[in-house]
């Protein structure tokens, strides 16, 4: 099973890094840090490129705002040592819940808990 997993990693990207990404990271990457979800962050030797190797499913919303800012060169200092100070009104980071049971469903939607109410101001069209 180990050989099959290695061969699959060469062509798949949705569950971790591909084989080429791992080779590039081993040759040219410098490990910078790791976030609370186990994602590992790297930079090139000259500091021009920055990337992440996800721990598990590749989902961009799993990266916190601190690391997102570092990845996009908004911050020069990486947040592994000293995380950014957050304001009182900011919420904790939460991954994308679309497609899960916890996804937002407004009232009246087909996924909402309550059934839609009958409307008196609407008459359904029926063809003749």
Domain boundaries, the chain: 2-71
Q: Are the C-beta atoms of 41 and 12 separated by less than 8 Å?
A: no
CA gap 9, 126 in Å, rounded: 54
CB 17 within 8 A of CB 51: no
Kindly state the percentage of the chain with pLDDT values over 70: 80
pLDDT digits (tens, 9 = 90+) for 9-21: 666 666 667 778 8
pLDDT value of position 44: 94
26 pLDDT more than 60: yes
In percent, how much of the chain has pLDDT > 90?
A: 24
Q: Examine the pLDDT at 46 and tell me if it is beyond 80.
A: yes
Q: In this structure, are residues 20 and 10 in contact, taking their beta carbons and an 8 Å threshold?
A: yes
Q: What's this model's pTM, rounded to 2 decimal places?
A: 0.62
In contact, 35 and 41? CB cutoff 8 Å: yes
pLDDT of 113 higher than 60:
no
Residues 51-70, mean pLDDT to the nearest whole number: 88
Assess whether pLDDT exceeds 90 at residue 52: yes
55 pLDDT more than 80: yes
List Cβ<8 Å contacts ≥24 apart for 52-61: 53/16, 53/17, 53/21, 53/22, 53/25, 54/16, 54/17, 55/16, 56/15, 56/16, 57/14, 57/15, 58/13, 58/14, 58/15, 58/16, 59/95, 59/96, 61/95, 61/96
């Amino acid at each position: 099973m180990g050989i099959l997993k290695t061969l699959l990693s060469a062509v798949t990207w949705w569950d971790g890094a591909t084989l080429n990404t791992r080779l590039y990271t081993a040759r040219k990457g410098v490990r910078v840090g790791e976030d609370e979800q186990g994602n590992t962050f790297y930079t090139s030797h000259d500091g021009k490129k920055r990337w992440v190797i996800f721990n598990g499913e590749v989902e961009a919303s799993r990266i916190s705002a601190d690391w997102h800012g570092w990845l996009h060169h908004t911050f020069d200092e990486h947040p592994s040592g000293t995380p950014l100070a957050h304001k009182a009104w900011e919420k904790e980071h939460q991954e994308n819940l679309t497609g899960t049971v916890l996804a937002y469903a407004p009232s009246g939607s087909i996924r909402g808990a309550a059934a839609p109410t009958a409307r008196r101001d609407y008459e359904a069209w029926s063809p003749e």
